Amino acid sequence: MKTVLITVATDPDNPYFQNWLKSTKKAGWTDSQMRVLGKNEAWQGWAWRCKKIVSALQRLNPRDLVIFCDSYDLLVFGSPTEFQNIHFNYQCDILLGMDYACVDKQVLGIKPTCSGSVQPDRLLFVNGGGIMGWANDLLKAYTYIAKYHQDDQIGWHDYLQHHLPQRTKVRFDEQNQMIFNFMFGDHKHPDKHIGVYMKYVEMLFNPWKTMHNVKEKNGRPYVKQQYPLMVHTPGITADGGARYNYVGKKFLQESFQSKGLKFWMLTTLAYIPFVIIIVFIVYFHSK
């Protein structure tokens, strides 16, 4: 058995991918333990990405431990051994990263769409940006998803609800031990629809509530009393990369390539219209 980290990245020169690569090396991953799929190919959609994953999984030993993750909006902080330990502690075949936010359609570039909670008693949404499991079990899942779905997260929801093999043990990473899907707001309560949008607006005017989720402890990201092995910023275009740049600059420092906005820029842009309005009101009132 070996532990393999898989991602899909079409542009190896992209600064986001280079940041991902630097983070993996800093965390202790070697080239032989990683598979970068789709290099220098044209992006052809989520179903295409799933097919790439299927092809890679078919070449592995069924009992290899596989971590699949995004690369353009995600940074890795855990070593192969740490991933192995978490998977062992969960005693499962597949461990799924969870999102506290769900929207019906893409808004301002926010991805994913999703089809609902995977638990009937509470809001708990699959996020396809970070998933770990045995190669054989992931192969079955991605084969189905690639065949029947254009969106991998809707596909995961369908697979879990209706097509999961009877003896496959699935666990949900609710404690963010494997991955923290870093969205907007305080992350205290899961949200759907309007709640997601309101927390996004709140982040524009009070970024501290969002930034405060990720603390530093022993040089690592520390979230809700856990050291997540990956930090993912879904919907990176929605805030111009502010969440991503905050995490990268804080923990990768000089090796990190910033691209896009920082929180102070985002907040300045949010307040400028109000400042202009106040200036106009004061100006015309004084005349």
Domain segments of the chain: what residues? 3-286
Q: Is the pLDDT of residue 112 over 80?
A: no
CB 263 within 8 A of CB 246: yes
Collapse the DSSP code of 108 into the 3-class scheme (helix H, G, I; strand E, B; otherwise coil) and give the result: coil
| CA distance linking residue 133 with residue 284, whole number of Å | 64
pLDDT at site 196? 81
Q: Is the pLDDT of residue 115 over 90?
A: no
pLDDT at site 106? 64
CB 95 within 8 A of CB 132: yes
Predicted confidence band at 274 (pLDDT cuts at 50, 70, 90)? confident
**Could you tell me which CATH class the domain 3-286 is placed in?**
alpha beta
Predicted confidence band at 101 (pLDDT cuts at 50, 70, 90)? confident
Average pLDDT score over residue span 84-92: 96
